[in-house]
Amino acid sequence: MMLNWRVLLPAALLLSACATAPKAPAVKPQASGNKDVAEYRRHLEEAYAAVVEHETTPVDAPEVDVEAAASIEIPEHRTIRSALDYFTTGLRDSIQTSLVRSARYKKLIDKALSERRLPKGLAYLPVIESAYLPTLTSRAGAHGIWQFMPETAREYGLRVDWWVDERADPAASTLAAAEYLEDLYRQFGDWPLALAAYNAGPGRISRALSRTGARNFWELIDMAAIPRETRAYVPTFFATLLIASDPDSFGFRLGDPQDADEAEVAIDGPVSLKYIAEVASVDDGRLQELNPALRRGIVPPGTVRVRVPSGAVEVIAERGTTLKNDDPNIAVCSFRLRRGDTIAELARAIGTKASTIAEMNGLASPSRLRTGDSIYLPVRARELGSLLSHWKDKKYFYAVQKGDTIYSIAKRHNLSVTELRDLNDLRKSARLQHGQRLRVAPPRTVTAGGG
């Protein structure tokens, strides 16, 4: 059964508007005595007078999202009512905060949904995904306001690497989410099933339907044929949509959709957001907030469009191609490989992991590097020379001798076995080689974003 919101919503709006007008005293007619009758008439006349006095007074109607309610039919199901009850009691504060935060992204999301002719109600899916927190990461590794897993994000065109994670970019991830939701609806032809697939994956939902013969999501619930999280996920979305469509009736409020005071400017990287903020005299934290996809606080190599406060566009644009040459603190530099250099040895020399260097350079196979190739290293240029010069300094490195063990080397240099392994990114199964150089003293810690 579907609730007829086209009928119920106007009534709800009328009731909520009336509720904001001055209230007449609650009275009850008495059965005995002329005095009681006179008192009742007096109260009734006061109530009439109050209605007439305010009949032309404009009343501020609460913010509601009628379009969202009308865009997806809301089923009548016990699980939705249960979710609604929980949202209006135990999770009230969290849901309210999320609904207010949604205002910042509402216009952006509505635009993306409209372009693909998707239901406006989907704009409230992040309420139960992320509370509209761009940098939120789940225990499973899903990230951003739409909680994409890395593989799905890349499949839908989002960049996810050492430098950038566009799952945290509200604009880019919203476009990807709209395309993904469109694909899921095309596959299942039903929004409850499409939403279940968004949560659990389309393969799992397809297999559950085939295995059970169920015809819809609600039958899958009754059979407990899908994970518990997914059985709760779809009802909580519809509970959220009920609240958004008539928040005042449930004791909530929506924020007014906002126009962002920001613009994009092209910048050549690598350069730190901290330095850009200094040049433009804007708050460093504000710049980080506008660019949550820049994982290290660094504009990556190449030309990248960076969001900045509107008032800072001109000053940043003037130096967009030269900022990278002037940043004194960025802890990233380019390095041309010399004969005999390896990623593993460079990592030990600067005190990082070989996997970090491989990731920041997009190297699936570091062994393919050749002498003369240029790579990026996570260290300040002014410190790199000093760190590399320590490579043969016995204070920092030790050459493995015949008969040495991890334990004996660690003990000789006042380290624990764990510390020695961490300094050299050694697995427990790693075997030492004669002449192998191990770091035995930590380098000075630096951060990739400078500072």
Cis peptide upstream of residue 270 (ω within 30 degrees of 0):
yes
Same structural domain, 143 and 181: yes
Checking if the pLDDT of 176 tops 60, the result is yes
Same structural domain, 184 and 115: yes
pLDDT digits (tens, 9 = 90+) for 10-64: 333 323 333 333 333 333 444 445 565 555 555 545 554 554 454 444 444 445 6
Q: Which residues contact 179 (CB under 8 A, 6 or more apart)?
A: 116, 156
pLDDT digits (tens, 9 = 90+) for 73-107: 999 999 999 999 999 999 999 999 999 999 999 99
- Coil, strand or helix: which one is 363? coil
- Cα dihedral sign, 165-170-175-178: positive
In 3-state terms, the chain is what percent helix, strand and coil (to 5)?
A: 50, 10, 40
Rounded CA separation 11/17 (Å): 10
Q: Which of 73, 129, 264, 318 is catalytic?
A: 129
DSSP of 81-118: HHHHHHHTTTTHHHHHHHHHHGGGTHHHHHHHHHHTT-
CATH number at residue 316: 3.10.350.10
Q: What is the structure's pLDDT at 376?
A: 95
Q: Which residues contact 121 (CB under 8 A, 6 or more apart)?
A: 68, 69, 71, 72, 241, 244
Same structural domain, 389 and 274: no
| DSSP symbol at 329 | S
Same structural domain, 222 and 79: yes
Question: Helices (DSSP H) in 361-416: which residue ranges?
Answer: 381-389, 406-412
Checking if the pLDDT of 6 tops 50, the result is no
Residue 437 near residue 348 (C-beta atoms within 8 A): yes
Half-sphere exposure in the Cβ direction for 294 (13 Å, CA): 23
pLDDT digits (tens, 9 = 90+) for 374-409: 999 999 888 888 778 766 666 778 888 888 899 999
Rounded CA separation 289/135 (Å): 10
| Domain-located, residue 14 | yes
Q: Which residues contact 80 (CB under 8 A, 6 or more apart)?
A: 74, 235, 238, 239, 242
Same structural domain, 246 and 274: no
Same structural domain, 207 and 81: yes
**Residue 45 is a catalytic residue:** no
| Domain-located, residue 257 | no
pLDDT digits (tens, 9 = 90+) for 148-174: 999 999 999 999 999 999 999 999 999
| Domain-located, residue 327 | no
Rounded CA separation 122/328 (Å): 45
Q: Which residues contact 271 (CB under 8 A, 6 or more apart)?
A: 298, 299, 323, 324, 327, 330
Same structural domain, 158 and 246: yes
Q: What is the structure's pLDDT at 381?
A: 85
Confidence of residue 199 (pLDDT cuts 50, 70, 90): very high
Cα maximum dimension of the chain: 115
Residues spanned by the domain of 246: 66-250
Segment 125-153 shows an average pLDDT of: 96
Domain count, the chain: 4
CATH number at residue 226: 1.10.530.10
Same structural domain, 236 and 108: yes
Confidence of residue 368 (pLDDT cuts 50, 70, 90): confident
**Angle, helix 191-200 to helix 170-188, in steps of 10 degrees:** 120
Same structural domain, 269 and 167: no
The model's pTM is 0.74
Same structural domain, 404 and 271: no
Q: What is the structure's pLDDT at 389?
A: 73
Half-sphere exposure in the Cβ direction for 230 (13 Å, CA): 24
